[in-house]
Amino acid sequence: MAQGQGWSENTRGLLFLTDEQLRKGIEAMFFAYRGFTAGPDRILAEKSYGRAHHRALHFIQRSPGTTVNNLLATLGVTKQSLNRVLRTLIKDGLVLNEVGSRDKRQRHLTLTDPGTELERALSDVQRDRMRAAYRQAGAESVHGFCTVLEAMMDPELKGHYQQVSGGDHK
């Protein structure tokens, strides 16, 4: 592969990729993720929050009333780590933590109005970036991108992803 060439020019029609092409794909994912998180990171930094706060807000917004155990399973973090994040979000008035009506041991999480506003601001930045990238890449590339992401998921996480997202991209 010539110096400076993107990895995509030499991958069309290939059923396998070289280690160098795979390395470039890995690096592309790294730098794309940095770009994808840069806008939200600036908003979060103003409030002394981190990406864990963003992920919690996102998935609570996606499933209002979710339990702490469901959020633990979705995020794949320790109970201690999630409790630290939730304590801050609850203290700051962004998340409500309510006792379950059927099972008093369960805690149900919902966003407050300020929590919804913050989550929307964080997600709007990422939706704008995704929308622009999808438009630039085109429908076929978007489908391929989603197929690759789903293929990289562990089987149990892919099922969980389909459950929380309402299905796959296909």
CA distances from 161 to 124, 142, 167 (A): 21, 18, 8
The residue-averaged pLDDT of 93-117 equals 89
What is the reported pLDDT for 4? 43
Contact between residue 94 and residue 77 where contact means Cβ atoms under 8 Å apart: no
Q: Using the predicted structure, report yes or no on whether residue 129 has a pLDDT greater than 90.
A: yes
The confidence band for 168, taking pLDDT boundaries of 50, 70 and 90, is: low
Look at residue 98 in the predicted model and tell me its pLDDT: 87
Strand partners, 111: 95
Which range scores top for mean pLDDT: 120-124, 152-156, 157-161? 120-124
Least Cα distance to 133 among 145, 123, 150 occurs for 145
Confidence of residue 140 (pLDDT cuts 50, 70, 90): very high
Domains and CATH numbers, the chain: 19-123 (1.10.10.10), 138-170 (no CATH)
**Distance between CA 67 and CA 61 in Å, rounded?**
12
Quote the pLDDT of residue 99. 77
pLDDT tens digits along 32-74: 999 999 999 999 999 999 999 999 999 999 999 999 999 999 9
Q: Using alpha carbons only, what angle is made at residue 35 by residues 52 and 109, rounded to the nearest 5 degrees?
A: 25
Percent of the chain predicted with pLDDT > 70: 88
* Top-confidence residue, 36 or 6: 36
State the chain's mean pLDDT as an integer. Answer: 88
Is the pLDDT reported for residue 163 higher than 60?
A: yes
